[in-house]
Amino acid sequence: MAAILGAALIVALAAAACSGGADTAHAPEPDHLGDGPLGTVEVDPGDAVQIRSLNTIAGDVAYLGIPNQRGVELAVADFGPVHGFDVDLGTRYDDLCWSDGAQAAAQTIVADEDVIGVIGPSCSTAAVAASPIVTAPPMVLIAPSNTSPTLTSDLAGNPGLNHSVGYYRTSNNGLFVGETMARFVNCDSFGDCGSQKTTVIHHLDPDDIEASLANIVFEFSPQAGA
């Protein structure tokens, strides 16, 4: 929960450059999100900082997305205004834990030029579809529960296949989980590895990013001695 709260605050604090009525008469007219690395945001007096929640809030995986969404709501309520500007979550969107749902929701979100960032998606599969759309304007996308290595890196400084500048996550990289699982099943309590064989079973769905965890376990198993 703390990670989710932190993610919401990071997006809200992206509005640190919000206009408070400063004199900009001699400044060049900025693009919508400015010219910084991920853009700057100007909010008119009386307006709110707009962020959105994009999580799995219906279906079989709602147990993951609903706590994410509630964490965002709690963070916004707890932190309060940012530099005097309220933070508005607007419509809560459902990523359906699937690429099609995430893509459709992301397109709806970016159509609103007042939105500066998104918390979500819940699932890695959804993030692969939503990330390039949300980060293109550019906006900030902070995911609370994605683990696929393809969304960030291989831990050796090489960007993942599906990494987008502006995408962040508060969950761990699945490579850590896969290596730990491989060592658990291949090593005994004395640290001796290689005495057991490993069988990995997973759902053979080419679009299921989380199935990559099985591949990670398999790849790390030889290093653990299998």
User: Per-residue pLDDT tens for 9-38?
Assistant: 555 544 444 444 444 444 444 444 445 567
CB-based burial, 138-156: b 16+ in 10 Å, e otherwise? bbbbbbbbbbbbbbbeeee
- pLDDT, residue 124, reads 93
Would residue 192 be called left, alpha or beta, if left means φ above 0 and alpha means ψ between -120 and 50 degrees?
beta
- Residue 157's pLDDT band, with cuts at 50, 70 and 90, is confident
Q: Please state, in angstroms and rounded to a whole number, the distance separating the CA atoms of residues 53 and 76.
A: 11
Q: What is the mean pLDDT of residues 62-76?
A: 96
Question: Which two tokens mark 121?
Answer: 């998606």
On the question of pLDDT at 154 being above 70, the answer is yes
Q: What integer pLDDT is reported at residue 215 of this predicted model?
A: 74
At 133, is the pLDDT very low, low, confident or very high (cuts 50, 70, 90)? Answer: very high
Provide the pLDDT confidence category of residue 222 given band limits of 50, 70 and 90.
Answer: low
pLDDT category, 128, cuts 50, 70, 90? very high
Most confident by average pLDDT, 5-9, 125-129, 207-211: 125-129
Counting residues of the chain whose pLDDT is more than 90, the rounded percentage is 53
Residues 85 and 19 sit within 8 Å (Cβ to Cβ): no
Looking at the chain, which residues constitute the CATH 3.40.50.2300 domain(s)?
Answer: 2-16+38-171
Q: What pLDDT was estimated at residue 134?
A: 97
Quote the CA–CA distance of 164 and 146 in Å, as a whole number: 14
pLDDT at 203 exceeding the cut of 80: no
Distance of alpha carbon 190 from the chain centroid: 38
User: Is it the case that residue 72 has pLDDT exceeding 60?
Assistant: yes
Mean pLDDT of 160-174: 93
Predicted TM-score of the model (pTM) = 0.75
Decide which of 1.10.286.10, 3.40.50.2300, 3.50.50.60, 3.30.420.10 is the CATH code for 2-16+38-171.
Answer: 3.40.50.2300
